[in-house]
């Protein structure tokens, strides 16, 4: 599988690892899922809820059947692991990594540096020295513990502000406020030192849509990626979270150009958190499932036309277990249907879209 390999990759000549980084040459024709048949191997997978994996055989079976890669929805976030500045809880992470090994799955790590899911003590760090110590201790311990077992890390999650105005603006997280933008290359270097084989990713949302706000966010991301490149810090890929919306169109030319520009910086693409927020779509289930699938297809069309992504992950597998209603409840109170499988683990049109791009049922 491609994601774990760290030697030279020549997938129809499309990708090559080069010293200290990765060169990706876009091959629009070969990489297409045209005619319904995928011609390349990209690992497909899902975010998982670790307690469900352990306790719920039906859930576990669906994950094993459909995923060749897993990432924890929670369990490796600071809030889950760091009750106080000195302690680490590795219980959930260990379970996931064991599960991945047992089922021959790749594991992605999510996430090392984020503004969200932070324990109170970490939100209250008071100085650059404290922040530097907290980051370096956390990243070396966590990445070091799973070295060789977690193949790819979302090192930096959501570094850009909600409403990007100028390209050099960054999200005012505790890390940015105490350390400035340097926290980003600093964290990447720490992760690389703790596991030189791990793929390192910067992960962000709202990079996909039509509209000034999203154009500005793409410009902000390019500005950030260029600066990281100049800093010499190791970075392999950009994660497109791809939390899509029923009411927002994909900016096909804008996203295509953006992917090519990201490639121009020697970086690859991972689709990390694909799902479709359906709160504004019709209540009728068949209509809604068709619209959700069409939106996912529109995104994947542009991605696969412009590169071969390193992996495609949805943020959950079945509508039975979804994070979406916490943030995007439907006004009519009907259950959300953002994911590839329905609440009984049956394939929806969204799953057929994934299959068209190469997702396979494993057994
Ligand atoms: C979400 C999880 O799915 C929820 O279970 C949790 O309560 C909050 O976080 N972008 C991210 C993810 O990078 O970490 C978020 O996950 C969803 C949005």
158 an active-site residue? yes
Rounded (10°) CA dihedral 61, 42, 341, 352: -130
67 pLDDT above the threshold of 90: yes
CA-nearest residue, atom 15 of ligand 1: 73
| DSSP H or E stretch at residue 200 | strand 199-204
8 pLDDT above the threshold of 90: no
Residues 69, 10: Cα–Cα separation, whole Å: 21
CA of 35 to the centre of ligand 1 (A): 34
3 pLDDT above the threshold of 80: no
Residues 77, 96: Cα–Cα separation, whole Å: 13
Cα 55 off chain centre by: 25
Q: Is 127 left (phi over 0), alpha (psi -120 to 50) or beta?
A: beta
pLDDT confidence band for 360 (50 / 70 / 90): confident
Instruction: Give the residue, out of 92, 238, 273, 328, with the most ligand 1 atoms within 8 A of its beta carbon, to mutate for a pocket test.
Output: 273
Q: What is the pLDDT of residues 265-279, one digit of tens each?
A: 999 999 999 999 999
CA 110 to ligand 1: nearest atom? 14
CA-nearest residue, atom 2 of ligand 1: 73
The active-site residue, picked from 199, 208, 268, 273, is: 273
**Rg of the chain on CA atoms, in Å:** 19
CA-nearest residue, atom 5 of ligand 1: 323
* 273 pocket-lining for ligand 1 (C-beta < 6 Å): yes
CA of 357 to the centre of ligand 1 (A): 25
CA of 272 to the centre of ligand 1 (A): 12
CA 272 to ligand 1: nearest atom? 13
Which stretches within the chain are classed as H helix? 50-55, 57-66, 78-81, 91-102, 120-123, 128-145, 174-179, 183-194, 212-231, 252-264, 285-306, 349-356
The percent of residues in the chain predicted with pLDDT above 90, rounded, is 86
Q: State whether residue 347 is helix, strand or coil.
A: strand
CA-based nearest residue to 63, from 42, 48, 41: 48
pTM for the model: 0.91
18 pLDDT above the threshold of 50: no
Residues 6 or more apart in contact with residue 62 via CB below 8 angstroms: 317, 318, 341, 345
Q: What is the pLDDT of residues 218-263, one digit of tens each?
A: 999 999 999 999 999 999 999 999 999 999 999 999 999 999 999 9
Residues 350, 297: Cα–Cα separation, whole Å: 8
CA-based nearest residue to 339, from 363, 361, 310, 319: 319
Q: Is 291 left (phi over 0), alpha (psi -120 to 50) or beta?
A: alpha
DSSP-assigned letter for residue 318: B
* 73 pocket-lining for ligand 1 (C-beta < 6 Å): yes
133 pLDDT above the threshold of 90: yes
> Per-residue pLDDT averaged across 199-212, rounded?
98
| DSSP H or E stretch at residue 244 | strand 243-245
Residue pair 127/285 in contact (Cβ under 8 Å)? The answer is: no
* 152 pocket-lining for ligand 1 (C-beta < 6 Å): no
More confident residue, 4 or 305: 305
* 314 pocket-lining for ligand 1 (C-beta < 6 Å): no
* 78 pocket-lining for ligand 1 (C-beta < 6 Å): no
β pairing state of 15-18 and 44-48: unpaired
pLDDT confidence band for 209 (50 / 70 / 90): very high
CA-based nearest residue to 160, from 258, 275, 73, 240: 240
pLDDT value for 326? 87
pLDDT value for 1? 32
């Amino acid at each position: 599988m491609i994601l774990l390999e760290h030697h030279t990759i020549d997938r129809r000549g499309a990708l090559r690892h080069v010293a200290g980084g990765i060169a990706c040459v876009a091959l629009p024709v070969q990489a297409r899922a045209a005619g319904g048949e995928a011609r390349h191997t990209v690992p497909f997978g899902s975010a998982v809820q670790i307690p469900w994996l352990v306790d719920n055989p039906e859930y576990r079976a669906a994950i094993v059947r459909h995923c060749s890669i897993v990432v924890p929805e929670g369990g490796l976030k600071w809030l889950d692991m760091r009750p106080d500045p000195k302690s680490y809880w590795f219980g959930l992470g260990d379970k996931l990594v064991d599960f991945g090994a047992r089922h021959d799955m790749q594991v992605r790590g999510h996430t090392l540096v984020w503004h969200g899911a932070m324990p109170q003590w970490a939100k209250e760090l008071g100085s650059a020295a404290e922040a530097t110590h907290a980051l370096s201790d956390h990243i070396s311990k966590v990445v070091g513990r799973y070295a060789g077992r977690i193949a790819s890390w979302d090192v930096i999650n959501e570094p850009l502000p909600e409403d990007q105005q100028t390209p050099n603006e960054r999200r005012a997280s505790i890390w940015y406020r105490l350390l400035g933008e340097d926290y980003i290359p600093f964290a990447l270097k720490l992760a690389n030192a703790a596991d030189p084989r791990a793929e390192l990713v910067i992960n962000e949302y709202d990079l996909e849509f039509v509209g000034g706000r999203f154009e500005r966010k793409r410009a902000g991301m390019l500005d950030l990626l260029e600066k990281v490149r100049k800093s010499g810090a190791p970075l392999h890929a950009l994660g497109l979270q791809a939390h899509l919306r029923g009411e927002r169109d994909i900016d096909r030319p804008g996203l295509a150009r953006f992917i090519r520009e990201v490639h121009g910086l020697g970086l690859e693409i991972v689709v990390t958190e694909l799902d479709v927020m359906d709160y504004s779509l019709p209540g009728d289930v068949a209509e809604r499932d068709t619209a959700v699938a069409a939106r996912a297809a529109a995104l994947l069309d542009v991605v696969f036309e412009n590169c071969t992504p390193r992996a495609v992950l949805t943020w959950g597998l079945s509508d039975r277990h979804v994070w979406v209603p916490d943030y995007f409840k439907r006004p009519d109170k009907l259950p959300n249907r953002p994911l590839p499988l329905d609440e009984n683990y049956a394939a929806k049109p969204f799953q057929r879209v994934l299959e068209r791009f190469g997702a396979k049922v494993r057994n």
